[in-house]
Amino acid sequence: METIPFELEPGHDFVELNQLLKLVGVCESGGAGKALVSAGAVRVDGVVESRRTCKIRAGQKVRVGGLEIEVLPAS
């Protein structure tokens, strides 16, 4: 499984799930990210996530297929 580190922007405590998928290149737009979430293809900390704009915070892990995104705090 490939792991991609994602660092939150300074001053931000979270990123919305659909935007995270877009920012790391899993999909081309936030709308496409929402579709992935709606299809049940995204897990957050091992649990299928159905909230398209849920807040993803530092320390959480998001899985889509064979890809894992590790969310890191802003440096």
pLDDT, one tens digit per residue, over 10-30 is 999 999 999 999 999 999 887
The pLDDT of residue 1 is 86
Average pLDDT rounded to a whole number, residues 25-38: 88
Mean of the pLDDT values across residues 33-49?
A: 94
Among the four given CATH numbers 3.40.50.970, 1.25.40.20, 3.30.1490.100, 3.10.290.10, the one describing domain 2-72: 3.10.290.10
Per DSSP, 18 falls in state H
31: pLDDT strictly greater than 90: no
pLDDT at 7: 98
Domain boundaries of the chain, sorted by first residue: 2-72
Query: Sheet harboring 47-48: ordered strands across?
Result: 2-7, 67-72, 61-64, 42-44, 47-48
Q: Which residues pair with 2 in a beta bridge?
A: 67
Q: Is the pLDDT of residue 34 over 90?
A: no
Q: Which two tokens stand for residue 58?
A: 């530092």
In whole angstroms, what is the distance from residue 40 CA to residue 62 CA? 13
